[in-house]
A and B are shown apart, each in its own frame.
Chain A
Amino acid sequence: MAKPILVLAEQHRGEIADITFEMLGAARAVAGATGAPVFALLLGSDAVPLTARLGAADKVFLVDTPTLDAPVPSAAATALKTVQEQAQADLVFIGCTNISLGIGPILATRTGLPLVNFCRALRVEGNALVCTSQLFGGKIAADVKLPDMRGIVCLYPGAFPAEAGRGDKPPAVEKVPLLVDPPKVIFKQYLQPETGDVDITKQSVLVGVGRGIQTQDNVQLAEELAQALGGAVCASRPVIDQGWLPLSRQVGKSGLSVKPRVYLAFGISGAPEHWEGIQNSQCIIAINTDSKAPIFDGAHYGAVADALEVLPVLIEKVKARKG
């Protein structure tokens, strides 16, 4: 029988993250072709009640050592390696998320297993697993082969259906007693995001600006449009990093996920880390000078144009409509 697939479940403060179900679904799909069992690993002293939600796994390993409560990559890698060896799982799935970032390379260094990052699709070819990864902000795809299904794969959030990884039958649970040394990276506390003046997750219209907006003054134009539409301005990471807008306006992987009725994207390339935060918008309209920008692959409407030329005209037209 094929060797098991081990999924590192992600939980954050008592909630199972969607990526966990996405990974379990992806593992089930591979298992469907190879007959491999699917195992999940849950970490943390408060994780016991969460095992019931991982019914898509054939078995859940639980390491409830309190040292694993803090999100420290090297400690998680220690637990993962122990269980991976015990279960003889040569294929390990980890989420491509901020919380899990770094666990994969540490495990790869300790085990010698190859690691494939940014994975968005998987297929079985004979004895091998072929992973399709997205590189260069989504502009190039790479197919990588893992012979004998051996490797660590970091799966991109939103790329695999979460529904396929939900199951309600209670899985078998195996507690793994494990002492993990207190890590050298000591977790102190969480810092809640400063609540901004506007909650961008509650807006029905968002005007998103990216690096293509070029200057802080131009952000003002977007602000004017947002006001005319009764919405708010938000931004991709480079705009926030420049300090042109506060952190409470950042959309994406490290920022917020939004789901407005309309998301207007001006000068945003549509990198996977930004896409993650806007994919649930009802309607995305993208304006970008580059006809090949990845954002046009997912947006509902697009225009190849200079944001700085479209914005002023659009503001006038919207104002005229509103009277």
Chain B
Amino acid sequence: MNLYVLLKMVPDTVEELNVAADGKSLDTEFLRFKVSDPDEHALEQALILKEKHGGTVTVVALEAPEVDEVLFTALAKGADRALKITTDQTRLGAFAAAQVYAAFFKAGPGQITPETLILAGSQAIDDLEGELAAYLAETLGLPYLGVVCNVARANGKLIVLKEFAGGLRGQFEIGLPAVLGVQSAEKPPRYVPVAKVRAVMKSAKIETVEVGVSEPAVRLQLERLYKPEVAGRAQMLEGTPEEIAEKIVEVLAKQGIL
């Protein structure tokens, strides 16, 4: 199989997020970026498919802070090629990003073959315009399914599981080529030691690609970004862990649990 995994960088929400002075973007000063969680699962699912059915895994990302490390990590995990498109991801919405990727797949190194499967994370925490995988599939005229939690191959087709609510899953059959939005891989993403990533950084390289989409449209008129006004706030239990535990016990007693 000709597997492509699209990796997107998102702000690490472990750090505090602040709005920049323009009121329309995040303050980048203390912002740290990491790869979007579901994208890691997309990569894991691709690696599993390669191990089972052969083929190659190519990881592709747009230019973004800290993205090189993510691409090297993907190579260390077993991806065969890492490509970086020079377009800046951080200014793009999902629609515009899909146009860039569509151009990449229509020309350039990402030729779509009857064996191509494109995997992206199902949804990212900043997908204000919706899901990249769906936009891309539609632009390329390929079949699409999101919230995917398992991909297998049988008789040349893909057998794909999608999550619904309440733990219910649906099984679908999809022919190649196709685009899938992965929510979780069938196994937890593998861990790769930092030393191995360092070694790969020395031996492998990231190929850069230019895509001929100059200034893709941003469709949304963003008025402002802000920290949400808090409707109600929890009554805070203060003190040492010991005191907090004591106060929780009191609440539990009041609720009739103890």
Chain A contact residues, CB within 8 Å of chain B: 12, 71-74, 97-99, 101-102, 104-106, 108-110, 114-118, 130, 133-147, 154, 183-194, 204-205, 229-230, 237-238, 241-243, 247-248, 250, 253-257, 261-262, 264, 269, 271, 282-287, 290, 292, 295-306, 309-310, 313-314, 316-318, 321-322
Contacts and interface: CB of A to CB of B under 8 A. Distances in A.
- Residue of A241, A282, A285, A295 most packed against chain B (CB within 10 A): A241
> Nearest 10 pairs between A and B by C-beta?
A193-B167, A302-B234, A105-B134, A184-B143, A309-B241, A102-B134, A313-B245, A299-B234, A105-B130, A109-B138
Interface majority SS (helix, strand, loop, mixed), chain B: mixed
Given A102-B134, A305-B241, A322 B164 contact: no
Given A241-B41, A247-B167, 4 more contacts: A189-B170, A283-B255, A298-B231, A301-B236
A153 to B, nearest CB: 11
B134 to A, nearest CB: 4
A136 B13 contact: yes
B245 A154 contact: no
B89 interface: no
Given A109-B135, A256-B167, A104 B130 contact: yes
Contact of B235 (A98, A187, A229, A302): A302
Contacts of A106: 134-135, 137-138, 144
24 contacts: A73-B134, A104-B130, A105-B98, A105-B135, A106-B138, A108-B95, A108-B135, A115-B220, A135-B225, A142-B128, A185-B172, A185-B174, A190-B168, A238-B37, A262-B251, A295-B234, A301-B236, A302-B236, A305-B244, A309-B241, A310-B248, A314-B248, A317-B246, A317-B249
Nearest to A230: B257
Interface size class of B (residues with CB under 8 A): 35 or more
A191 B13 contact: no
Interface stretch (B1-9, B72-80, B118-126): B118-126
Nearest to B139: A109
Given A105-B134, A144-B223, A313-B241, A98 B162 contact: yes
Contacts of B107: none
Interface of B: 10-11, 13-14, 16-17, 19, 26, 37, 41, 94-95, 98, 122-123, 125-131, 133-135, 137-139, 143-147, 159, 161-175, 178, 181, 183-184, 187-188, 219-228, 230-238, 241-242, 244-249, 251-253, 255-258
Contacts of A138: 228
A101 B183 CA distance: 12
A271 B137 CA distance: 28
Contacts of A98: 147, 162-165
Contacts of A264: 248
A243 B248 CA distance: 29
Nearest to A237: B184
Contacts of A186: 172-174
Nearest to B170: A190
A192 B168 contact: yes
Contacts of B245: 310, 313-314, 316-317
A229 B165 contact: no
Contacts of A116: 128-129, 220
A140 B228 contact: yes
Nearest to A320: B249
A208 to B, nearest CB: 14
Contacts of B227: 139-141
A250 to B, nearest CB: 7
